Structure 1
Amino acid sequence: MSNMNEAMPEIKRLCLATEQSHIAANAMMLTKLDELNSQVLSQRAEIENLTTAVRTLTAIVKSMKTIKPKAKGNPDDDFPILYEEDLIEVDHKISQDSRGIYANSMRKFLRQGRLSRSIRSIFSEDILLNYNVDGCKNKKRLKDHEHLFRSLMDAIGKVEPTLPSEKVLSKAMRCVKNCAAKKKGRVDDDPLSFLNVEMNDGQK
Protein backbone atom coordinates (compact mmCIF):
# COMPACT_ATOMS: atom_id res chain seq x y z
CA MET A 1 0.00 0.00 0.00
CA SER A 2 2.83 2.31 0.87
CA ASN A 3 4.40 1.56 -2.50
CA MET A 4 1.16 2.57 -4.19
CA ASN A 5 1.06 5.81 -2.28
CA GLU A 6 4.63 6.51 -3.22
CA ALA A 7 3.87 5.85 -6.91
CA MET A 8 0.84 8.13 -7.06
CA PRO A 9 2.77 11.39 -7.46
CA GLU A 10 4.75 9.88 -10.32
CA ILE A 11 1.58 8.61 -11.96
CA LYS A 12 -0.03 12.03 -11.61
CA ARG A 13 3.07 13.64 -13.06
CA LEU A 14 3.03 11.28 -16.02
CA CYS A 15 -0.68 11.85 -16.57
CA LEU A 16 -0.19 15.59 -16.40
CA ALA A 17 2.74 15.40 -18.80
CA THR A 18 0.71 13.26 -21.18
CA GLU A 19 -2.22 15.66 -21.00
CA GLN A 20 0.04 18.62 -21.62
CA SER A 21 1.61 16.78 -24.53
CA HIS A 22 -1.83 16.14 -26.02
CA ILE A 23 -2.78 19.76 -25.49
CA ALA A 24 0.42 20.90 -27.20
CA ALA A 25 -0.15 18.45 -30.06
CA ASN A 26 -3.73 19.64 -30.47
CA ALA A 27 -2.59 23.25 -30.40
CA MET A 28 0.02 22.50 -33.05
CA MET A 29 -2.58 20.70 -35.16
CA LEU A 30 -4.97 23.62 -34.84
CA THR A 31 -2.19 25.98 -35.88
CA LYS A 32 -1.47 23.84 -38.94
CA LEU A 33 -5.16 23.72 -39.78
CA ASP A 34 -5.36 27.50 -39.49
CA GLU A 35 -2.36 27.84 -41.81
CA LEU A 36 -3.89 25.43 -44.34
CA ASN A 37 -7.20 27.25 -44.15
CA SER A 38 -5.43 30.56 -44.75
CA GLN A 39 -3.63 29.09 -47.76
CA VAL A 40 -6.88 27.71 -49.17
CA LEU A 41 -8.59 31.07 -48.73
CA SER A 42 -5.63 32.83 -50.35
CA GLN A 43 -5.63 30.44 -53.30
CA ARG A 44 -9.38 30.79 -53.64
CA ALA A 45 -8.98 34.56 -53.81
CA GLU A 46 -6.29 34.18 -56.46
CA ILE A 47 -8.52 31.84 -58.47
CA GLU A 48 -11.38 34.33 -58.25
CA ASN A 49 -9.05 37.12 -59.41
CA LEU A 50 -7.85 34.98 -62.32
CA THR A 51 -11.43 34.09 -63.22
CA THR A 52 -12.37 37.76 -63.22
CA ALA A 53 -9.35 38.60 -65.37
CA VAL A 54 -10.23 35.86 -67.87
CA ARG A 55 -13.82 37.09 -68.09
CA THR A 56 -12.62 40.64 -68.66
CA LEU A 57 -10.20 39.57 -71.41
CA THR A 58 -12.91 37.45 -73.03
CA ALA A 59 -15.28 40.41 -73.07
CA ILE A 60 -12.56 42.62 -74.59
CA VAL A 61 -11.79 40.07 -77.32
CA LYS A 62 -15.48 39.68 -78.16
CA SER A 63 -15.94 43.43 -78.36
CA MET A 64 -12.90 43.72 -80.64
CA LYS A 65 -14.45 41.19 -83.01
CA THR A 66 -17.64 43.20 -83.30
CA ILE A 67 -15.97 46.58 -83.79
CA LYS A 68 -15.48 47.32 -87.47
CA PRO A 69 -12.67 49.69 -88.43
CA LYS A 70 -13.86 53.01 -89.76
CA ALA A 71 -13.16 53.70 -93.37
CA LYS A 72 -10.20 56.00 -93.77
CA GLY A 73 -9.18 58.07 -96.75
CA ASN A 74 -11.02 58.14 -100.04
CA PRO A 75 -13.18 55.05 -100.74
CA ASP A 76 -12.43 55.52 -104.44
CA ASP A 77 -8.90 54.33 -103.70
CA ASP A 78 -10.22 50.87 -102.78
CA PHE A 79 -11.37 50.23 -106.36
CA PRO A 80 -10.97 48.25 -108.44
CA ILE A 81 -10.79 45.32 -106.04
CA LEU A 82 -8.04 43.16 -107.49
CA TYR A 83 -7.69 40.13 -105.25
CA GLU A 84 -9.78 38.09 -102.85
CA GLU A 85 -7.92 39.46 -99.83
CA ASP A 86 -8.79 42.98 -101.02
CA LEU A 87 -12.41 41.91 -101.30
CA ILE A 88 -12.38 40.76 -97.69
CA GLU A 89 -10.62 43.93 -96.55
CA VAL A 90 -13.04 46.30 -98.28
CA ASP A 91 -16.02 44.34 -96.96
CA HIS A 92 -14.57 44.67 -93.47
CA LYS A 93 -14.14 48.42 -93.89
CA ILE A 94 -17.78 49.00 -94.73
CA SER A 95 -19.92 49.65 -91.68
CA GLN A 96 -23.46 50.90 -91.32
CA ASP A 97 -22.11 54.46 -91.27
CA SER A 98 -19.88 54.12 -94.35
CA ARG A 99 -22.22 52.00 -96.48
CA GLY A 100 -23.66 55.06 -98.22
CA ILE A 101 -20.20 56.51 -98.85
CA TYR A 102 -19.06 53.32 -100.58
CA ALA A 103 -22.31 53.07 -102.51
CA ASN A 104 -21.81 56.59 -103.86
CA SER A 105 -18.21 55.79 -104.75
CA MET A 106 -19.21 52.67 -106.70
CA ARG A 107 -22.06 54.54 -108.36
CA LYS A 108 -19.57 57.04 -109.81
CA PHE A 109 -17.57 54.21 -111.38
CA LEU A 110 -20.63 52.34 -112.65
CA ARG A 111 -21.96 55.43 -114.43
CA GLN A 112 -18.88 55.62 -116.64
CA GLY A 113 -20.34 53.27 -119.24
CA ARG A 114 -22.34 50.11 -119.81
CA LEU A 115 -22.44 48.08 -116.64
CA SER A 116 -20.83 45.08 -118.33
CA ARG A 117 -17.77 47.32 -118.81
CA SER A 118 -17.94 49.68 -115.85
CA ILE A 119 -18.19 46.74 -113.44
CA ARG A 120 -14.49 46.25 -114.19
CA SER A 121 -13.91 49.51 -112.33
CA ILE A 122 -15.25 47.79 -109.22
CA PHE A 123 -13.77 44.30 -109.60
CA SER A 124 -10.81 42.91 -111.47
CA GLU A 125 -11.46 40.35 -114.17
CA ASP A 126 -10.06 37.66 -111.87
CA ILE A 127 -12.73 38.44 -109.26
CA LEU A 128 -15.48 38.62 -111.90
CA LEU A 129 -14.49 35.26 -113.37
CA ASN A 130 -14.25 33.42 -110.07
CA TYR A 131 -17.34 34.82 -108.38
CA ASN A 132 -21.04 35.10 -109.04
CA VAL A 133 -23.91 36.42 -106.96
CA ASP A 134 -25.07 33.17 -105.33
CA GLY A 135 -21.97 30.97 -105.63
CA CYS A 136 -23.52 28.53 -108.09
CA LYS A 137 -21.72 26.60 -110.85
CA ASN A 138 -18.60 26.09 -108.72
CA LYS A 139 -18.04 29.83 -108.31
CA LYS A 140 -17.46 31.74 -105.09
CA ARG A 141 -20.39 33.58 -103.56
CA LEU A 142 -20.26 37.36 -103.72
CA LYS A 143 -23.12 37.61 -101.24
CA ASP A 144 -20.81 36.21 -98.57
CA HIS A 145 -19.22 39.67 -98.48
CA GLU A 146 -22.43 41.08 -97.11
CA HIS A 147 -21.52 44.71 -96.44
CA LEU A 148 -19.83 45.22 -99.80
CA PHE A 149 -22.65 43.43 -101.61
CA ARG A 150 -25.33 45.62 -100.04
CA SER A 151 -23.43 48.78 -100.94
CA LEU A 152 -23.04 47.50 -104.49
CA MET A 153 -26.77 46.77 -104.70
CA ASP A 154 -27.48 50.34 -103.55
CA ALA A 155 -25.12 51.70 -106.20
CA ILE A 156 -26.57 49.59 -109.02
CA GLY A 157 -30.09 50.54 -107.94
CA LYS A 158 -29.25 54.19 -108.55
CA VAL A 159 -27.60 53.50 -111.92
CA GLU A 160 -30.26 51.03 -113.18
CA PRO A 161 -33.37 51.90 -111.14
CA THR A 162 -35.83 50.08 -113.41
CA LEU A 163 -34.39 46.57 -112.97
CA PRO A 164 -33.61 44.36 -109.94
CA SER A 165 -30.04 45.11 -108.89
CA GLU A 166 -29.08 41.45 -108.46
CA LYS A 167 -30.29 40.65 -111.97
CA VAL A 168 -28.32 43.57 -113.41
CA LEU A 169 -25.16 42.48 -111.60
CA SER A 170 -25.55 38.84 -112.66
CA LYS A 171 -25.96 39.87 -116.29
CA ALA A 172 -22.90 42.13 -116.17
CA MET A 173 -20.77 39.38 -114.63
CA ARG A 174 -21.98 36.88 -117.24
CA CYS A 175 -20.99 39.30 -119.99
CA VAL A 176 -17.47 39.51 -118.57
CA LYS A 177 -17.26 35.71 -118.37
CA ASN A 178 -18.55 35.29 -121.93
CA CYS A 179 -16.11 37.88 -123.24
CA ALA A 180 -13.22 36.16 -121.45
CA ALA A 181 -14.28 32.79 -122.86
CA LYS A 182 -14.40 34.20 -126.40
CA LYS A 183 -10.95 35.74 -125.99
CA LYS A 184 -9.61 32.45 -124.69
CA GLY A 185 -11.14 30.61 -127.63
CA ARG A 186 -9.52 32.97 -130.11
CA VAL A 187 -6.16 32.66 -128.38
CA ASP A 188 -6.43 28.87 -128.44
CA ASP A 189 -7.08 28.99 -132.20
CA ASP A 190 -4.46 31.64 -132.90
CA PRO A 191 -1.79 32.28 -130.21
CA LEU A 192 -1.21 35.80 -131.62
CA SER A 193 -4.87 36.77 -131.72
CA PHE A 194 -4.64 38.47 -128.33
CA LEU A 195 -2.80 41.31 -130.09
CA ASN A 196 -5.85 41.99 -132.25
CA VAL A 197 -8.13 41.69 -129.23
CA GLU A 198 -6.14 44.29 -127.31
CA MET A 199 -6.06 46.63 -130.32
CA ASN A 200 -9.82 46.29 -130.83
CA ASP A 201 -10.48 46.90 -127.14
CA GLY A 202 -8.33 50.00 -127.27
CA GLN A 203 -10.30 51.38 -130.22
CA LYS A 204 -13.68 50.88 -128.55
Structure 2
Amino acid sequence: MNGERPMPPLVKIERHDLDEHFGIIGHNQRAVSAEEEILENNILKEFLVVENEEIIVKNELDLEADEQPPPKLRKLNIDNSQETSELVEKVENLNREIHGMRAEMSILIDMVATQTTYIQQLLAKTQAMNDAEVETFPIRNEAHLMEVNLKISLDNRQDFITKIKGLLIQAPISRSLKKVMAEDIILAYNMDGVSNKKSLRTYANFVSVLLEAIQITDETQPAEKILRNAMACVKNSANKSKMRKSRAESANLEFEHL
Protein backbone atom coordinates (compact mmCIF):
# COMPACT_ATOMS: atom_id res chain seq x y z
CA MET A 1 0.00 0.00 0.00
CA ASN A 2 1.38 3.38 -0.96
CA GLY A 3 1.37 6.48 1.37
CA GLU A 4 2.30 7.14 4.97
CA ARG A 5 2.05 4.39 7.39
CA PRO A 6 -0.54 5.13 10.05
CA MET A 7 0.92 5.50 13.62
CA PRO A 8 -0.18 3.13 16.25
CA PRO A 9 -2.64 4.56 18.76
CA LEU A 10 -0.12 4.32 21.62
CA VAL A 11 2.46 6.31 19.74
CA LYS A 12 -0.07 9.03 18.98
CA ILE A 13 -0.89 9.38 22.60
CA GLU A 14 2.77 9.69 23.63
CA ARG A 15 3.41 12.25 20.92
CA HIS A 16 0.43 14.28 22.01
CA ASP A 17 1.70 14.26 25.54
CA LEU A 18 5.16 15.38 24.45
CA ASP A 19 3.72 18.23 22.38
CA GLU A 20 1.72 19.41 25.33
CA HIS A 21 4.77 19.20 27.59
CA PHE A 22 7.04 21.17 25.27
CA GLY A 23 4.24 23.60 24.61
CA ILE A 24 4.04 24.37 28.30
CA ILE A 25 7.82 24.85 28.48
CA GLY A 26 7.79 27.23 25.54
CA HIS A 27 4.97 29.19 27.08
CA ASN A 28 6.85 29.42 30.36
CA GLN A 29 10.03 30.62 28.59
CA ARG A 30 8.10 33.36 26.83
CA ALA A 31 6.54 34.40 30.12
CA VAL A 32 9.99 34.62 31.75
CA SER A 33 11.35 36.67 28.86
CA ALA A 34 8.41 39.04 29.14
CA GLU A 35 8.99 39.47 32.86
CA GLU A 36 12.69 40.11 32.32
CA GLU A 37 11.88 42.78 29.73
CA ILE A 38 9.42 44.43 32.11
CA LEU A 39 12.08 44.38 34.93
CA GLU A 40 14.70 45.93 32.67
CA ASN A 41 12.26 48.66 31.61
CA ASN A 42 11.46 49.43 35.24
CA ILE A 43 15.17 49.62 36.18
CA LEU A 44 15.83 51.91 33.23
CA LYS A 45 12.95 54.16 34.24
CA GLU A 46 14.23 54.36 37.85
CA PHE A 47 17.73 55.15 36.61
CA LEU A 48 16.42 57.91 34.39
CA VAL A 49 14.39 59.30 37.25
CA VAL A 50 17.46 59.33 39.58
CA GLU A 51 19.59 60.89 36.88
CA ASN A 52 16.98 63.55 36.20
CA GLU A 53 16.75 64.31 39.92
CA GLU A 54 20.56 64.70 40.17
CA ILE A 55 20.53 67.06 37.18
CA ILE A 56 17.71 69.05 38.74
CA VAL A 57 19.49 69.26 42.09
CA LYS A 58 22.74 70.31 40.42
CA ASN A 59 20.94 72.96 38.42
CA GLU A 60 19.29 74.26 41.56
CA LEU A 61 22.65 74.46 43.36
CA ASP A 62 24.20 76.29 40.40
CA LEU A 63 21.31 78.72 40.40
CA GLU A 64 21.68 79.32 44.13
CA ALA A 65 25.41 79.87 43.71
CA ASP A 66 24.79 82.33 40.90
CA GLU A 67 22.25 84.16 42.99
CA GLN A 68 24.69 84.57 45.95
CA PRO A 69 26.18 88.09 46.04
CA PRO A 70 30.00 88.32 45.80
CA PRO A 71 31.87 88.59 49.14
CA LYS A 72 32.18 92.10 50.34
CA LEU A 73 35.69 93.47 50.75
CA ARG A 74 36.42 95.62 53.76
CA LYS A 75 37.27 99.04 52.56
CA LEU A 76 39.94 100.87 54.50
CA ASN A 77 38.73 104.29 55.28
CA ILE A 78 41.92 106.30 55.02
CA ASP A 79 39.94 109.44 55.67
CA ASN A 80 39.34 108.34 59.24
CA SER A 81 41.69 110.60 61.17
CA GLN A 82 41.86 108.35 64.28
CA GLU A 83 42.91 105.27 62.37
CA THR A 84 45.42 107.29 60.38
CA SER A 85 46.86 108.76 63.55
CA GLU A 86 47.24 105.32 65.15
CA LEU A 87 48.93 103.97 62.03
CA VAL A 88 51.36 106.89 61.91
CA GLU A 89 52.18 106.41 65.59
CA LYS A 90 52.89 102.70 65.06
CA VAL A 91 55.19 103.50 62.14
CA GLU A 92 57.04 106.10 64.18
CA ASN A 93 57.47 103.69 67.10
CA LEU A 94 58.78 101.05 64.72
CA ASN A 95 61.25 103.53 63.22
CA ARG A 96 62.48 104.47 66.69
CA GLU A 97 62.99 100.81 67.56
CA ILE A 98 64.90 100.26 64.33
CA HIS A 99 67.14 103.28 65.00
CA GLY A 100 67.78 102.03 68.53
CA MET A 101 68.70 98.58 67.25
CA ARG A 102 71.04 100.10 64.67
CA ALA A 103 72.76 102.15 67.38
CA GLU A 104 73.20 99.06 69.55
CA MET A 105 74.54 97.11 66.57
CA SER A 106 77.02 99.90 65.85
CA ILE A 107 78.25 99.82 69.45
CA LEU A 108 78.59 96.03 69.34
CA ILE A 109 80.50 96.20 66.07
CA ASP A 110 82.92 98.73 67.56
CA MET A 111 83.38 96.56 70.65
CA VAL A 112 84.05 93.47 68.57
CA ALA A 113 86.53 95.38 66.41
CA THR A 114 88.33 96.67 69.53
CA GLN A 115 88.45 93.21 71.06
CA THR A 116 89.69 91.72 67.81
CA THR A 117 92.48 94.29 67.57
CA TYR A 118 93.46 93.69 71.20
CA ILE A 119 93.54 89.92 70.73
CA GLN A 120 95.63 90.26 67.59
CA GLN A 121 98.11 92.51 69.39
CA LEU A 122 98.23 90.15 72.36
CA LEU A 123 98.83 87.15 70.13
CA ALA A 124 101.54 88.97 68.23
CA LYS A 125 103.22 90.04 71.47
CA THR A 126 102.97 86.55 72.95
CA GLN A 127 104.39 85.02 69.79
CA ALA A 128 107.24 87.51 69.81
CA MET A 129 107.97 86.76 73.45
CA ASN A 130 107.84 83.03 72.83
CA ASP A 131 110.21 83.38 69.88
CA ALA A 132 112.62 85.41 71.97
CA GLU A 133 112.44 83.36 75.19
CA VAL A 134 115.15 80.93 74.24
CA GLU A 135 117.52 83.75 73.22
CA THR A 136 116.65 86.13 76.08
CA PHE A 137 117.52 84.03 79.13
CA PRO A 138 119.91 83.36 80.55
CA ILE A 139 121.80 86.55 79.73
CA ARG A 140 125.17 85.34 78.50
CA ASN A 141 127.41 88.42 78.22
CA GLU A 142 127.53 92.20 78.47
CA ALA A 143 126.28 92.77 74.89
CA HIS A 144 123.36 90.47 75.56
CA LEU A 145 122.60 92.30 78.82
CA MET A 146 122.55 95.62 76.97
CA GLU A 147 120.23 94.20 74.30
CA VAL A 148 117.73 92.86 76.85
CA ASN A 149 117.78 96.16 78.73
CA LEU A 150 116.88 98.01 75.54
CA LYS A 151 114.04 95.59 74.73
CA ILE A 152 112.21 96.21 77.99
CA SER A 153 109.56 98.94 77.82
CA LEU A 154 106.38 99.97 79.61
CA ASP A 155 104.36 97.89 77.17
CA ASN A 156 106.22 94.61 77.73
CA ARG A 157 107.83 94.90 81.16
CA GLN A 158 105.10 92.78 82.74
CA ASP A 159 105.88 90.03 80.24
CA PHE A 160 109.54 90.09 81.31
CA ILE A 161 108.56 90.03 85.00
CA THR A 162 106.34 86.98 84.40
CA LYS A 163 109.08 85.18 82.50
CA ILE A 164 111.78 85.90 85.10
CA LYS A 165 109.46 84.87 87.94
CA GLY A 166 108.78 81.58 86.14
CA LEU A 167 112.52 80.91 86.05
CA LEU A 168 113.20 81.93 89.67
CA ILE A 169 110.52 79.71 91.25
CA GLN A 170 112.11 76.56 89.86
CA ALA A 171 114.64 76.45 92.72
CA PRO A 172 115.98 78.61 95.57
CA ILE A 173 116.93 81.99 94.11
CA SER A 174 120.60 81.40 95.02
CA ARG A 175 120.57 78.63 92.40
CA SER A 176 117.79 79.68 90.01
CA LEU A 177 119.38 83.12 89.48
CA LYS A 178 121.75 81.45 87.00
CA LYS A 179 118.70 80.71 84.81
CA VAL A 180 118.30 84.49 84.43
CA MET A 181 121.97 85.53 84.25
CA ALA A 182 124.83 83.26 83.30
CA GLU A 183 127.52 82.72 85.92
CA ASP A 184 130.01 84.87 84.01
CA ILE A 185 127.67 87.90 84.23
CA ILE A 186 127.04 87.35 87.95
CA LEU A 187 130.79 87.14 88.61
CA ALA A 188 131.52 90.30 86.60
CA TYR A 189 128.80 92.48 88.20
CA ASN A 190 127.44 93.64 91.52
CA MET A 191 124.71 96.16 92.32
CA ASP A 192 126.90 99.24 92.82
CA GLY A 193 130.00 98.53 90.73
CA VAL A 194 132.42 98.27 93.68
CA SER A 195 135.39 95.97 94.27
CA ASN A 196 136.47 96.14 90.65
CA LYS A 197 133.06 94.93 89.45
CA LYS A 198 130.67 96.49 86.95
CA SER A 199 127.47 98.10 88.17
CA LEU A 200 124.27 96.22 87.45
CA ARG A 201 122.28 99.42 88.09
CA THR A 202 123.54 100.74 84.76
CA TYR A 203 120.87 98.59 83.17
CA ALA A 204 117.92 100.15 84.96
CA ASN A 205 115.15 98.48 82.92
CA PHE A 206 116.53 95.01 83.51
CA VAL A 207 117.23 95.60 87.22
CA SER A 208 113.70 96.95 87.70
CA VAL A 209 111.94 93.87 86.30
CA LEU A 210 114.42 91.53 88.01
CA LEU A 211 113.80 93.06 91.46
CA GLU A 212 110.03 93.01 90.98
CA ALA A 213 110.11 89.35 89.93
CA ILE A 214 112.26 88.52 92.97
CA GLN A 215 109.85 90.33 95.31
CA ILE A 216 106.89 88.38 93.91
CA THR A 217 108.80 85.11 94.34
CA ASP A 218 110.05 85.78 97.87
CA GLU A 219 108.34 88.35 100.10
CA THR A 220 110.29 87.54 103.26
CA GLN A 221 112.99 90.18 102.62
CA PRO A 222 113.55 93.23 100.38
CA ALA A 223 114.17 92.19 96.81
CA GLU A 224 117.54 93.94 96.54
CA LYS A 225 118.86 92.19 99.64
CA ILE A 226 117.72 88.83 98.24
CA LEU A 227 119.49 89.62 94.95
CA ARG A 228 122.74 90.63 96.69
CA ASN A 229 122.74 87.45 98.77
CA ALA A 230 121.95 85.28 95.75
CA MET A 231 124.77 86.84 93.72
CA ALA A 232 127.16 86.39 96.67
CA CYS A 233 126.18 82.70 96.91
CA VAL A 234 126.87 82.20 93.21
CA LYS A 235 130.27 83.89 93.55
CA ASN A 236 131.19 81.82 96.62
CA SER A 237 130.18 78.62 94.87
CA ALA A 238 132.20 79.64 91.82
CA ASN A 239 135.26 80.46 93.96
CA LYS A 240 135.01 77.15 95.79
CA SER A 241 134.68 75.29 92.54
CA LYS A 242 137.65 77.20 91.17
CA MET A 243 139.74 76.36 94.23
CA ARG A 244 138.82 72.68 94.01
CA LYS A 245 139.73 72.66 90.36
CA SER A 246 143.02 74.40 91.09
CA ARG A 247 143.88 71.91 93.83
CA ALA A 248 143.04 69.03 91.59
CA GLU A 249 145.29 70.40 88.89
CA SER A 250 148.11 70.91 91.38
CA ALA A 251 147.74 67.40 92.67
CA ASN A 252 147.91 66.05 89.13
CA LEU A 253 151.11 67.99 88.47
CA GLU A 254 152.74 66.70 91.65
CA PHE A 255 151.76 63.17 90.76
CA GLU A 256 153.28 63.56 87.29
CA HIS A 257 156.62 64.70 88.79
CA LEU A 258 156.91 61.63 91.03
TM-score, scaled relative to structure 2: 0.46
Q: Secondary structure at the match of 1:188?
A: helix
Runs of 4+ that moved beyond 2 A: 70-77
Q: How does 1:44-59 map to 2 (within 5 A)?
A: none
Q: How does 1:13-92 map to 2 (within 5 A)?
A: 72-74=128-130, 76-77=133-134, 78-92=136-150
d(CA) in 2 for partners of 1:151, 1:116? 18
1:104 and 2:162 are equivalent in the alignment: yes
d(CA) in 2 for partners of 1:148, 1:187? 33
Deviations 1:73-108 (A, max 9, x none): 325321001111000000000001111110110000
Aligned residue among 157, 175, 192 for 1:134: 192
Larger Rg: 2
Match of 2:208 in 1: 150
Match of 1:8 in 2: none
d(CA) in 2 for partners of 1:120, 1:97? 26
d(CA) in 2 for partners of 1:179, 1:162? 23
Give 1:192 shift.
8.7
Match of 1:170 in 2: 228
Give 1:134 shift.
1.3
d(CA) in 1 for partners of 2:189, 2:177? 13
d(CA) in 2 for partners of 1:114, 1:192? 33
Deviations 1:154-190 (A, max 9, x none): 1001011121100000000000100111111111111
Alignment RMSD? 1.8
Match of 1:202 in 2: none
Q: Secondary structure at the match of 1:138?
A: coil
AA paired with 2:129?
Answer: G
Higher normalized contact order (CA 8 Å, seq sep 6+, divided by chain length): 1
Give 1:191 shift.
1.9
Gapped runs of 5+ residues in structure 2? 1-124, 252-258
AA paired with 1:91?
Answer: N
Give 1:124 shift.
0.5
d(CA) in 2 for partners of 1:86, 1:124? 11
d(CA) in 1 for partners of 2:158, 2:250? 45
Match of 1:18 in 2: none
d(CA) in 1 for partners of 2:244, 2:217? 33
Gapped runs of 5+ residues in structure 1? 1-69, 194-204
Count of residue correspondences: 124
Deviations 1:122-171 (A, max 9, x none): 00010010001111111111111000100001100101112110000000
Match of 1:11 in 2: none
Match of 2:45 in 1: none
d(CA) in 2 for partners of 1:92, 1:143? 14
Question: Does the C-alpha gap of structure 1 residues 114 and 191 become closer, same or farther in structure 2, counting only changes over 3 Å?
Answer: same
AA paired with 2:153?
Answer: S
d(CA) in 2 for partners of 1:107, 1:119? 10
